[in-house]
Structure 1
Amino acid sequence: MTVQSQVTCLQSQRVAGGGLLSVATSHGRTRVARLREEGAAKIRLPHSAHSGMEAVLINTAGGLTGGDRLSWQIEAAPGAELTVTTQACERAYRSAGGHAAVTSLIKVREGASLTWVPQETILYDRSALRRSLNVFVEPGGRALILEAIILGRQAHGETVELAEFRDRWRVHHGGRLVHAEEFALGPRVAAQMARPVFGNGARAFATILLIADDADQLLSPLRDALGPSGGASHWQAGQSGKLLARLVAEDGYRLRTRLIPALQLLNGQAPLPKLWSL
């Protein structure tokens, strides 16, 4: 093999990984039922002092670029309690061609509670990322879902002028579609975020979704917690409630300081994973 062909081979390498975690209750505690890891996708299970379980998702490749593929499948059986986060912020780097793709499938069975709070995704200049989130919640189940985006690291002087980000959500409750959205950002990200009707100069934003029977009771306190930097609304979704909140901030640090009290409120004042510490 020539040096040129070796270089070409190295340049064509792509991240591929998939992780599956299913948990169930046993003797009053949430325990692992199934666990599978493939490629760059790893799942770690820190010790928990309470009856629920915490899972940490890891992309050992350290980031994503064009052509990379990563998938997660998470399921909480009836009565199980699971909190899922990531080891660090996911990073979408500059793409030399094509887009990176991350797909997540979440299933929350009857009486189960699942909190999906990955740390923020950082988009870098000229990155291309497409993300897909599919959530299925059975009657009596509870799901708290967060996804957050940071446009470069302001402390490092990074700016994002051009990039492409697509985010697709499909959330079902009791077999019925209760939330669907298609978010598109780019290619001229800086110009788009500068528009008053879009980002008004913000460099970080997040979406929080709660599917729970008591969602309506949390609307007013959530609005108080968000203040002028965000907004929240509630709808009846089949036999349950849907609470949706959007937040924007000047940078990732300010976004996180606003996210933490909102998430703690919606999570029944339960503490967030230690990896979320400021």
Structure 2
Amino acid sequence: MNVASPTIVTEAERLLPQRVAARGGIAIRLRDGRTRLERLHQDGAAKIRMPRSGEDPLEAVLINTAGGLTGGDRLGWEAEVGSGASMVMTTQASEKVYRASSGHAEIGVRLSVGEGGRIAWLPQETIMFDRAAFSRRLDVDLAEGATALIAEATVFGRSAMGEAVERGMFRDRWRVSCADRLIHAEDFAVGPDVRSTLSGRAALGGSTAMATVLVISPDAESWLDRVRGIIGDEGGASAWSVGGTGKLLARLYDGNGYGLRKRLVPLLGLLNGRAGLPKCWSL
């Protein structure tokens, strides 16, 4: 009789902290005049719920059951919207990125939309803690005639809790293509001296909360005056015609997350049309 040798775990291995390695994916299609779920994948701490599955657009709520991210954690989301279908994606709560003892946390997002389809990517804020290290990547592939509303907000420390981010690392990379043509690309990086960098006049001028909102649609420019009215003096917006469609890009900043949200909520509610703001969002 053969007896398997016992697995020997060293003390160093036993003390290694667990890391998140999770992915969630969803695919939807237009059938019988309504947007319907075609495929759903959940792995690890990544969960997807659809509280309004009987309505159009379909709303998908993304949940990280790990309760936050730290160095070494990896989280990925993917969505595929078929031709003529429509979906709003949001998160159950703000994503918190905690201090990293080593490595960095990553979130990767890939969105694809078929001809005449629409996606609204509206996660709640990402909250950075002091000495956090975080990298985020967003890749969006739109077919001809597809439209998108994309927003990302980041808060560097919760001022109401007396928190401040002195040092850390944050990297944010966006690539958006329409009909196989790159129409929007940006890279934002700050660190390791976060507070000093954000205090500069060319950055946030001392503010600690910021948001980027992007609209890809043939009629994007028609929203410009109303968007500027909501943003006010702490931010700005511009619109262009590019790649056979339209693009509106808005930036907002504020001294704290609550002040930012007071303008971001009505702005996203306006730009998301009849779908309005996801129910998870609130002041």
* TM-score, scaled relative to structure 2: 0.94
Aligned to 2:180: 175
- Counterpart residue type for residue 151 of structure 1: F
Q: SS of 1:248's equivalent?
A: strand
* Aligned-pair CA distance for 1:4: 8.0
- Counterpart residue type for residue 137 of structure 1: L
Alignment of 1:14-29 (within 5 A): 14-29=19-34
Does the 8 Å CA contact 2:57/2:275 hold for their aligned counterparts? no
* Aligned-pair CA distance for 1:267: 1.5
**Is 2:231 the partner of 1:226?**
yes
2:87 to 52, 57, 82: 82
Does the 8 Å CA contact 1:28/1:51 hold for their aligned counterparts? no
* Aligned-pair CA distance for 1:51: 2.2
Aligned to 2:197: 192
* Aligned-pair CA distance for 1:269: 5.1
**Is 2:125 the partner of 1:120?**
yes
Aligned to 2:44: 39
Q: Which string of whole-angstrom CA distances, capped at 9 and with x for unpartnered residues, describes residues 215-264 of structure 1?
A: 01111221112111110111112110011010001111111111111112
> How far apart are the structure 2 equivalents of 1:8 and 1:156?
35
- Counterpart residue type for residue 173 of structure 2: R
Q: Which string of whole-angstrom CA distances, capped at 9 and with x for unpartnered residues, describes residues 54-79 of structure 1?
A: 00011111111111111111111011
- Counterpart residue type for residue 183 of structure 1: F
> How far apart are the structure 2 equivalents of 1:26 and 1:152?
44
**Is 2:220 the partner of 1:215?**
yes
Does the 8 Å CA contact 1:173/1:237 hold for their aligned counterparts? no
> How far apart are the structure 1 equivalents of 2:163 and 2:85?
41
* Aligned-pair CA distance for 1:184: 0.2
Aligned to 1:239: 244
Which structure 2 segments of 5+ residues have no match? 1-6
Q: SS of 1:228's equivalent?
A: coil
Answer with 242-251 or 25-34: which moved more.
25-34
Alignment of 1:136-175 (within 5 A): 136-175=141-180
Identity of paired residues, percent? 51
Aligned to 2:260: 255
Q: SS of 1:191's equivalent?
A: helix
Count of paired positions: 277
> How far apart are the structure 1 equivalents of 2:61 and 2:125?
14
**Is 2:54 the partner of 1:12?**
no
Answer with 19-28 or 165-174: which moved more.
19-28
Does the 8 Å CA contact 2:119/2:147 hold for their aligned counterparts? yes
> How far apart are the structure 1 equivalents of 2:14 and 2:188?
34
Does the 8 Å CA contact 2:46/2:75 hold for their aligned counterparts? yes
Q: CA RMSD in A?
A: 1.6
Distance 1:33 1:157, change over 3 A: same
Aligned to 2:63: 58
Q: SS of 1:79's equivalent?
A: coil
1:277 to 265, 272, 282: 282
Query: Rg: which structure is higher?
Result: 2
